[in-house]
Every structure is written in structure tokens, then in C-alpha cells.
Amino acid sequence: MGKHRIFRHRHGHDGEAGCHDESGFDCREVHKHASDMVDGEMPKPMAEKINRHLGFCPPCQALVNSVAKTVGLVKSVPKARCPESLKASILKKTKSSK
């Protein structure tokens, strides 16, 4: 029991005919590796395969674009937005205004 629940993406364009390239590369692979690809943590041959797939698969293009946007946003946010000293002075102000 439960074995058939592993692949939950049975809807959408996944697995549709015409969405595999000649090397058998399909959308599920793109979904799996999209974040690695955006991070640049992907072997070049793999990235080239994915790029080729993106060339004829607009849904996967959209997916990689949205992952790239998300990762880009996350990376552009400085890690320490609120230094301890600033936090302390805000706390002080809040306390003294009471």
C-alpha cells in the first residue's frame, strides 16, 4: 500500500506525449534539478541537456524562470538585516516609551 502515491505530479504537462526529448530527458528531471541548475551546482553536460529541453518545453522554461527568480530574491536579501545593536536600541525605545 502507498507505493502508488510516490509520484504525485500526475497532472499538468508531466508525462504528456511529446514532452520528452530524443535522449529520454523529461520534465520530471527538469523539476528535480531546477534549483541546482539555478544555483550553478550542476555538471555542464546536465545543464546543457536541460537547456535543450527548455528550448522546446515552455512549461519547464517557466518553472526554471520562477525558481531563478525565487533564488535570486533569496540571495539578494542580506543575511543580517537586524544587527544586535539596532535590535537593542529599538528595545530600549519601546521600553522607555512605556
27 binds Zn ion (CB under 5 A): yes
Residues 33-72 that bind Zn ion (CB under 5 A): 57, 60
Cell numbers placing 43:
555538471
Q: What is the dihedral of CA 9, 12, 18, 21, to 10 degrees?
A: -50
DSSP state of 6: S
Helix (H) or strand (E) holding 63: helix 58-76
| Nearer to Zn ion (CB atom), residue 3 or residue 8 | 8
Scanning 19-27, 64-72, 76-84, 88-96 for contacts with Zn ion by CB under 5 A, the matching segment is 19-27
* In the complex, minimum distance from the CB of residue 13 to Zn ion, in angstroms, rounded to a whole number: 7
User: In the complex, which residues of this chain contact Zn ion (CB under 5 A)?
Assistant: 27, 57, 60
